[in-house]
Structure 1
């Protein structure tokens, strides 16, 4: 869990440094041990967090381990792989969504797929940055 929080923090700090990224531009990182996807979404944070919870609760292969409404943080498990989702309010109309997990297999929801699903559910156009 501490490792995932550190990954979230690093992803948050890195994404905050990339000021030229446009809203809806998904940044995705994959290493040998973890995956991180992050995007700025033009939507209120409460709407993004609600979409995250709905997506998690409607996927029977995902187990909700914990959720913190105040921090807008969700910890989850898919198969034996743990992950987390964090929503941060940038301003009243802009939110940052960060999804982290251990390395996913072909039949699991990846952080990139999760970010794109939340964007789709919110009817916000998002695409992976090149």
Structure 2
């Protein structure tokens, strides 16, 4: 899962998508096997990471299987679905939040809904790009 997150972050950077996104615009991608949601948030990375941890810890059916505080990355498991959350500091007041998961079932939390929940907890307006 870590390799997937790194590859997706690199592809977003190389393609230029991450550079042209406006703050609060959630980019969401879904393939046959994975889902990815990414957003630039006007908040310090440390705050975004702490809210992500708090949000996950409040879910009884979600387990943090790997936590790397220095890299601000979490690997999680919900039922049989694995996922990864990565927070990157773009500057002191701007962060990028990226959530990747195996393809989720229709009734499960998706990376998109998780990103929107974290934005809501931070009281930052985020919405999916069209």
TM-score scaled by structure 2? Answer: 0.92
> In structure 1, how many angstroms separate the alpha carbons of the residues matched to 2:65 and 2:124?
27
How many pairs does the alignment contain?
A: 130
Q: For residues 6 and 34 of structure 2, what CA distance do their matches in structure 1 show? A: 12
1:4 Cα shift? Answer: 2.7
User: How much does 1:13 deviate?
Assistant: 2.0
TM-score, normalization by structure 1: 0.92
Shift of residue 129 of structure 1? 0.3
Structure 1 unaligned regions, length at least 5: none
Q: Which moved more, 1:100-109 or 1:13-22?
A: 13-22
> Is the CA contact (8 Å cut-off) linking 1:51 and 1:118 kept in structure 2?
yes
* CA RMSD of superposed structures (Å): 1.7
Unpaired stretches in structure 2, ≥5 consecutive residues:
none
Are residue 19 (structure 1) and residue 19 (structure 2) matched?
Answer: yes
1:91-110 residue pairs with structure 2 within 5 A? 91-110=91-110
**Structure-2 separation of matches of 1:78 and 1:71:** 22
Query: Could you tell me which residue of structure 1 aligns to residue 76 of structure 2?
Result: 76
The corresponding residue for 1:118 is 118
Whether contact under 8 Å (1:34, 1:101) holds in the other structure is: yes
Matched, 1:90 2:90: yes
**How many Å apart are 1:95 and its aligned residue?**
0.1
